[in-house]
Structure 1
Amino acid sequence: MRNKFDMQLDSLKEQLIHMGELCEIAITKATEAILEGKEEQAREVILADEEIDQAEKDIERLCLKLLLQQQPVAKDLRQISAALKMITDMERIGDQASDIAEILLTAKLGKAKPNEDIGVMAQATAKMVTESVQAYVDQNMMLAKKVMLADDEVDRLFEKVRQEIIDYIAKGNGEEGAEAIDQIMVTKYLERIGDHATNIAEWVEFSITGNHHGAQAIHDREKAGE
């Protein structure tokens, strides 16, 4: 019975890796489409979001099957519960990559020069997604913590790009204001992707230790407000 359960857990990990890879590809392709004006590639990202949605459904089905048939306890239960939370964040990452691609198809980004840090943000967030999933598979607390810390750099890049674009408009490039604002929207979606990757890493922490960093942070804030 335990051997069968372990095989199903291995299958769960493989499916999570696959879903993480789909998210990483979507982030990279969507940002590349924006920076290089590849409209066809943007359409591919939007269509690929359906595959990410299907991966979420498949993993959810497997998790529920494990919960109902195996009735896991302790760490096994935490691993399955964490996976259910993680796929919600990964599905949202897919949505936001699709939103980035949609900007290229609905906006006019030809006038304003693309900010180079957008590509840096995309690489950083894609890496966060990959490493957060790998941390779950390996039950690697140090890697999960690394992802959480990486979010600070993504936030810093977002603020840097936002200020640079504001300064760009203020220097007499008002006619390109709409295009510049669209670039800010791209970076905002990337910043949110970083937040979701951090959420995944926090659920990894829960699967390993039973503690959830995000839940503790909320508790601390509420206590401070008393």
Structure 2
Amino acid sequence: MVTRKKFDYEINHLKKDIGEMAEAVSETVHTMEALIKHPDVVQSKELVEHDKYINELQKNIETRCLSLLLKQQPVARDLRLVSTGLKVVTDLERIGDQCADIAEITILTKMDDLYTKLPHIASMLDHIVEMMEQLTLAVKNEDVELAKETRQKDQKINILFDKCKKDVVMLIKEDEGNIDYYLDFLMISKYLEKIGDHIKNVCEWIEFNETGMIDNFKLV
């Protein structure tokens, strides 16, 4: 009984840590959005530093998960939760990395023309921020239905990214002297698209934690 109580204590801490990491990443996404709209060198550097904090959260959670696997050897639902934790923090960490990459671009590249040259960027940002907010709630509340709803929105991000790619091709054809400038815009849209993918991945792992199913296959 004592062993089970200790295990439950560790599991509850694991859930709490993952929720805190999701909140930290959501904060980063909001900051990234602000930097695209209003570039600021100081704030960009702060975001990069904040990403190091997210990396530390990932390492701590991974350590907790591995400790649970080795010492407690969980099975069934408990094993799913620990496995989900390992996968979720990887995707959350990648979202933080991509926000930091975007922040660095805003330092080096003028953002004045971004919204006029790539009008679909604004919609991509709106969807990403909304998805990240919903994801954070889904993680903290273990809300499978919200995770499913959020996952579906990644298709909108993919469609908008395709439109951005086409816009960049046209811009380069019309203004070959500024290829690097437009490629930076393309990279921003690509990072946003990848953030959408990682949010979708986390949503799928939330579903897996509840059902044991992923991609219509029963795993655990």
Where on the TM-score scale, by shorter chain, does this alignment land: which range? Answer: 0.7 to 0.9
Alignment correspondent of 1:112: 113
Tell me how far apart the structure 1 counterparts of residues 112 and 144 of structure 2 sit (CA, whole Å).
45
Tell me how far apart the structure 2 counterparts of residues 199 and 8 of structure 1 sit (CA, whole Å).
24
Tell me how far apart the structure 2 counterparts of residues 140 and 108 of structure 1 sit (CA, whole Å).
39
Alignment correspondent of 1:154: 157
TM-score, with normalisation over the residues of structure 2? 0.85
How far apart are 1:168 and its partner, in Å?
4.2
How far apart are 1:161 and its partner, in Å?
2.5
Tell me how far apart the structure 2 counterparts of residues 139 and 109 of structure 1 sit (CA, whole Å).
40
Cα gap change, 1:28 to 1:162, in 2 (>3 Å)? farther
Residue 197 of structure 1, aligned match among 196, 199, 213? 199
Deviations 1:112-138 (A, max 9, x none): 343453243233223333433433443
Residue 163 of structure 1, aligned match among 149, 155, 166? 166
**Any conservation in 2 of the 1:132–1:204 contact (CA below 8 Å)?**
no
Equivalence map 1:202-217=2 (5 Å): 202-213=204-215
- AA partner of residue 178 (structure 1): D
- AA partner of residue 56 (structure 1): Q
How far apart are 1:32 and its partner, in Å?
2.0
Deviations 1:17-68 (A, max 9, x none): 1111121122221232133221221111111110000000111111122223
Q: Structure 1: which 5+ runs fail to align?
A: 217-226
The answer to whether the aligner puts 1:139 opposite 2:142 as a matched pair is yes
**Any conservation in 2 of the 1:31–1:100 contact (CA below 8 Å)?**
no
Residue 27 of structure 1, aligned match among 23, 26, 29? 29
Determine what percentage of the aligned residue pairs are the same residue.
35
Tell me how far apart the structure 1 counterparts of residues 201 and 193 of structure 2 sit (CA, whole Å).
13
Cα gap change, 1:127 to 1:66, in 2 (>3 Å)? farther
Tell me how far apart the structure 1 counterparts of residues 112 and 133 of structure 2 sit (CA, whole Å).
33
Tell me how far apart the structure 1 counterparts of residues 46 and 126 of structure 2 sit (CA, whole Å).
19
Residue 121 of structure 1, aligned match among 101, 121, 124? 124
- AA partner of residue 144 (structure 1): A
- AA partner of residue 24 (structure 1): S
How far apart are 1:157 and its partner, in Å?
1.6
Cα gap change, 1:124 to 1:110, in 2 (>3 Å)? closer
Tell me how far apart the structure 2 counterparts of residues 13 and 163 of structure 1 sit (CA, whole Å).
42
**Any conservation in 1 of the 2:51–2:100 contact (CA below 8 Å)?**
yes
The count of aligned residue pairs is: 213
Cα gap change, 1:181 to 1:160, in 2 (>3 Å)? same
Helix, strand or coil at the partner of 1:109: coil
Q: Structure 2: which 5+ runs fail to align?
A: none
